[in-house]
């Protein structure tokens, strides 16, 4: 089964930072920067391109709120908000997800 479906239904543990009836957000296991977060729909769809509009819109609504929260709480200097589609673009997990990657001017490392 898809690894993000397993995270969504609790079969695999994650550091969850948000959950509602159709979306969850959790910390990336291999973060690019401190606070690197993934926002996913609970219902499986392969990528941004084949996700139902309503689901995709809700994922981005949550991503937007969380990006504001990350900025306020982590005091980062910027955030990359992105979704990779297909392997050639860097997608390694075929369950739609949005990356929120806080960026820091002085120290971008994860330690
Ligand atoms: P992609 O490369 O598909 O855009 O992003 C997939 C992301 O999922 C990667 O940044 C990777 O570190 C993260 N990831 C893969 N497996 C797991 C996992 O089991 N738990 C968590 N929290 N993140 C994962
Ligand atoms: Zn899935």
- Identify residues whose C-beta is under 5 A from ligand 2, the ion: 2, 4-5, 44, 95
pTM above 0.90, yes or no: yes
To test the pocket of ligand 1, the residue of 93, 96, 110 to mutate (highest count of ligand atoms within 8 Å of its CB) is 93
Catalytic residue among 36, 58, 95, 97: 97
Q: Measuring CA to CA, which residue among 9, 2, 31, 8 is closest to residue 100?
A: 31
Answer yes or no: 58 catalytic. no
pLDDT (tens, 9 = 90+) of the chain, 111 residues, equals 899 999 999 999 999 999 999 999 999 999 999 999 999 999 999 999 999 999 999 999 999 999 999 999 999 999 999 999 999 999 999 999 999 999 999 877 665
Alpha helices for the chain (secondary structure H): 3-8, 53-74
- Of the listed ligands, the closest to the CA of 8 is 2
Domain positions in the chain are 3-103
* CB neighbour class for 106 (10 Å; exposed up to 12, middle 13-18, buried from 19): exposed
Phi and psi based region of residue 53 (left: phi greater than 0; alpha: psi -120 to 50; beta: remaining): alpha
Phi and psi based region of residue 100 (left: phi greater than 0; alpha: psi -120 to 50; beta: remaining): beta
Q: 3-103 adopts what CATH topology?
A: HIT family, subunit A (3.30.428)
């Amino acid at each position: 089964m898809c690894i993000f479906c397993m995270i969504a239904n609790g079969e695999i543990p994650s550091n969850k930072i948000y959950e509602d009836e159709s979306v969850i957000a959790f910390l990336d296991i291999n973060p690019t920067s401190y606070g690197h977060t993934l926002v996913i729909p609970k219902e499986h769809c392969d990528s941004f391109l084949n996700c139902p509009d309503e689901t995709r819109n809700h994922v981005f609504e949550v991503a937007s709120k969380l990006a504001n929260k990350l900025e306020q709480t982590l005091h980062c200097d910027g955030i990359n908000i992105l979704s990779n589609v297909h392997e050639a673009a860097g997608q390694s997990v075929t369950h739609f997800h949005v990356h929120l990657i806080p960026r820091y001017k002085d120290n971008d490392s994860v330690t």
